[in-house]
Structure 1
Amino acid sequence: MSTAHVNDIEIEHEVIGQGEPLLLIHGSNLATGLAPLAAALAVEGPSHEVVRYHRRGMAGTGGRGWPISVQQQAADALGLLDALGLPSTHVLGYSYGAVIALETALSAPGRVRSLALLEPILTEVPGAQAFMAGMEPVMSLYAAGDMAGAASTTFAGLGGPDWRKLLATAGPDAYDLAVRDTELFYRAEAPSLTTWTLDPTRAAAVRTPLLSVIGTHSGPFFKESRQLLHQRFARCTDADIPGATHLLHLQAPELIASAVADFLQRLSPPKQTS
């Protein structure tokens, strides 16, 4: 991967294809998690320049410390756009990365052409308490210093017995990186995530279209989060991924890429004919 100097750190990133830019923001502790989706988007949306990067402190990107706020993550995303000479871009985010994508749009609405959000963690919805309660086994392992146990329990709960095969699609070192970055997520990032809210006044300034993507087996929490997106954004449309859970980006990258490509295609002006 290449590196770019952003906000006093070096950010690892890769650029695939040419055309309208599409920035991908990965989730909590799996820095390489969007690699399969980036590859699928290169096939489904060949007219786009797909930019995938590793967030602050993750994988080989610098800035490993704490705390790291949602606002800092958004500033890094915007700084990467500056470093790459991109005045504006489409933005796709997954899980915690989808919250960062939202904050990026709220912070600089003129720089985000559209949002594609894969199951953002919106802790203000009613189902958040039950969702967080379900994370208690993971949190207990993290508190005990068992980062491998916390990561494995998370992935097994979401991906079932074949979770290791799913993670392997994100690269041979995906699991090892996830274990290493588990502490960073829970210690440095999670506190800001649990206090961040989708402020209606700030959201009203965002006029760009939004695509909400969820797995049909992901549970009520993410359905409630989708409902909140529809309340905050007038131009919100939906895409459901059959049989997928919160690991939808690894379970069905091709289906997601197709849905995102269709969404972006509808936003493109019709080609002029001579």
Structure 2
Amino acid sequence: MPVITLPNVRLHVQELNPEGPETIIMIHGMFSNLAVYYFNIAPMLAAHYRVVLFDMKGHGMSEKVRTGYDLTSMTDDLSDLMDTLGIGSAHLAGYSYGGLVALKMATRFPGRVGKLAVIEGPDPSEQETLAIIDTYSKEFLIHYIENFADTTRLLAGKRQLEKNHRMYEFLFNETSIRSDMESEKTFFDDPSVAAIPHETLLIYGEMSNCVPSGHTLAAKLRNARLVLAPGDHNVPVQQPEIIGKQLTEFFRRPLTEVDGNGFEKFIVDNR
């Protein structure tokens, strides 16, 4: 699907299995793009669902804009995107800052959200949050290139790496992205977050600095389960099959087994 025009921005959108009976919208993190899901995780979900991916404003092939990277503006974009695509309600899966966008969507437009999956959603009040978000997409691109098997894809990966460097320059030097993100420091303390009723899956890398954020959300949300998977903040890149399996099982049926500490640890089953 091409870049589509919304009331306030033009966004690049891709769809898999557009005839699927239910829709999952996947939201990437800051300084990344929809490719974090497109090649591995999204196709697994598309076996059962319509999957909608989009590049957030200023990212990937979407319009480069200088303001509006706060959670309210981001959820305005998502709501407008759903309207344009004729989606009344959808399940949401968000990674890193995209996980916060998914949570904000549930607080502002609860009737438009089915289940929620938050992958490595960072606590905005933590000083290291910006540093984590700054680094993970660089690792993603390096991993993306190194794991392609043929020359054509390798060259495409190198071109994407250069595009990403230009994106970083634009976002850091010409936009309000840092101040907008810093303005969300109290988001986890907002009473509307604790009031989210939606069934929520929280996935964090067991070696990630964001694990405390996962425990914080698990304690706040009334209907949430926390899963620890092998890896760190880059777990969707490191373990796409595990993440895809977790998301598929969550969206298809509720998770039921929780340990005495209130969270479950993912165990790879090779049977």
Q: Which residue of 1 aligns with 2:232?
A: 245
Deviations 1:115-172 (A, max 9, x none): 1111112122xxx23x259x39x9xxxxxxxxxxxx7xx3598579857526989x62
* 8 Å CA contact 1:11, 1:55 repeated in 2: yes
What is the distance in 2 between the residues matched to 1:212 and 1:226? 7
Q: Which residue of 1 aligns with 2:267?
A: none
Deviation at 1:93, TM superposition (A): 0.7
Letter in 2 for 1:217: M
Q: 1:258 and 2:218 equivalent? A: no
* 8 Å CA contact 1:200, 1:232 repeated in 2: no
Q: 1:209 and 2:199 equivalent? A: yes
What is the distance in 2 between the residues matched to 1:248 and 1:234? 25
Task: Name the count of aligned residue pairs.
Answer: 243
The normalised TM-score by structure 2 is 0.78
Change (3 A) 1:267 1:8: same
What is the distance in 1 between the residues matched to 2:71 and 2:63? 17
Q: 1:188 and 2:169 equivalent? A: no
Q: 1:4 and 2:1 equivalent? A: no
What is the distance in 1 between the residues matched to 2:37 and 2:180? 25
Pick the structure with more helix per residue.
1
Q: Which residue of 1 aligns with 2:72?
A: 71
What is the distance in 2 between the residues matched to 1:162 and 1:56? 24
What is the distance in 1 between the residues matched to 2:84 and 2:100? 22
Change (3 A) 1:70 1:183: farther
Q: Which residue of 2 aligns with 1:165?
A: 146
How is 1:94-243 mapped onto 2 (pairs within 5 angstroms)?
94-124=95-125, 128-129=126-127, 131=128, 135=131, 154-155=135-136, 164-165=145-146, 172=157, 173-186=159-172, 187-196=175-184, 197-219=187-209, 222-242=210-230
Letter in 1 for 2:146: K
* Aligned-CA RMSD value: 3.0
The normalised TM-score by structure 1 is 0.78
* 8 Å CA contact 1:31, 1:177 repeated in 2: no
What is the distance in 1 between the residues matched to 2:89 and 2:137? 37
Structure with greater contact order relative to length (CA < 8 Å, sep ≥ 6): 1
What is the distance in 2 between the residues matched to 1:157 and 1:180? 12
Deviation at 1:259, TM superposition (A): 0.1
Deviation at 1:68, TM superposition (A): 2.8
* 8 Å CA contact 1:30, 1:181 repeated in 2: no
Change (3 A) 1:81 1:180: same
Question: Where does structure 1 lack aligned partners over 5 or more consecutive residues?
Answer: 139-150, 269-274
Counterpart secondary structure, 2:216: helix
Question: Where does structure 2 lack aligned partners over 5 or more consecutive residues?
Answer: 256-271
1:27 to 26, 29, 37: 29
* 8 Å CA contact 1:11, 1:61 repeated in 2: yes
Q: Which residue of 2 aligns with 1:13?
A: 13
Query: Which consecutive segments of 4 or more residues in structure 1 shift more than 6 A?
Result: none
Identity across aligned pairs (percent)?
21
Deviations 1:158-203 (A, max 9, x none): 579857526989x624322321222344443222222211244212
Counterpart secondary structure, 1:245: coil
Q: Which residue of 1 aligns with 2:266?
A: none
